[in-house]
């Protein structure tokens, strides 16, 4: 009464045994179960170590020597990064599982920490340079204004396209941060109203 059909050749489990037409009767192998306690101990043992913030004094001598082995110093005192450069020309380095720009790494190592919201700016305008003496820590806004992007170029202009000065009395700051010449705005408004009345 305990027999089970195995004509199809499929194995059938029955009372701790496995029945199959090809293999006959064999004892079922016990299933290894890991307790929740052992599982939690494993996770604790193999947990990822907390990330260490890059700060002066935490970079070892060996790490610094490996960093400098990737640098070439030219005749203009530029420390030119010889490894990976991104599309914008900045070098990058991986330090203890974290990625930093190479010039930021060098600045923190030799000069000191960089506060949140600030970043080292290249005074030499050579983006691959990692010489800390060629860097100045400024706010992100100042760094962007010093760049050669179209928005930065426009922000440095002191007159509008028509030659009107961008001073306090003649400049309207839009919600997006852009500037509008008040004299030009009034002139456009006057022309629009004139066309509306004559059209």
Q: What pLDDT digit, counting tens, does each position of 109-132 carry? A: 999 999 988 999 999 999 999 999
Which has the higher per-residue pLDDT, 168 or 133?
Answer: 133
Q: CA-to-CA distance for 154 and 85, rounded, in angstroms? A: 28
Q: Radius of gyration over alpha carbons of the chain, in Å?
A: 34
Task: Name every residue whose Cβ is closer than 8 Å to that of residue 31 and which is 6 or more positions away in sequence.
Answer: none
Which has the higher per-residue pLDDT, 162 or 38?
Answer: 162
């Amino acid at each position: 009464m305990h027999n089970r059909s195995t004509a199809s050749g499929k194995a059938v489990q029955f009372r701790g045994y496995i029945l199959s037409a090809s293999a006959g009767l064999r004892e079922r192998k016990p299933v290894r179960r890991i307790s929740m306690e052992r599982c939690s101990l494993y996770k604790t043992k193999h947990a990822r170590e907390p990330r260490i913030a890059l700060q002066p004094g935490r970079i070892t001598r060996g790490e610094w020597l490996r960093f400098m082995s990737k640098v070439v110093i030219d005749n203009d005192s530029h420390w030119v990064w010889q490894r990976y450069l991104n599309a914008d020309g900045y070098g990058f380095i991986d330090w203890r599982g974290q990625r930093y720009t190479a010039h930021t790494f060098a600045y923190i190592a030799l000069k000191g920490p960089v506060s949140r919201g600030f970043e080292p700016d290249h005074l030499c305008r050579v983006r691959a340079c990692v010489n800390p003496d060629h860097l100045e820590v400024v706010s992100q806004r100042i760094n962007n204004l010093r760049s050669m992007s179209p928005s930065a170029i426009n922000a440095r202009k002191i007159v509008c396209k028509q030659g009107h000065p961008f001073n306090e009395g003649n400049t309207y700051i839009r919600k997006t941060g852009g500037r509008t010449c008040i004299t030009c705005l009034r002139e456009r408004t006057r022309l629009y109203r004139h066309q509306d009345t004559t059209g």
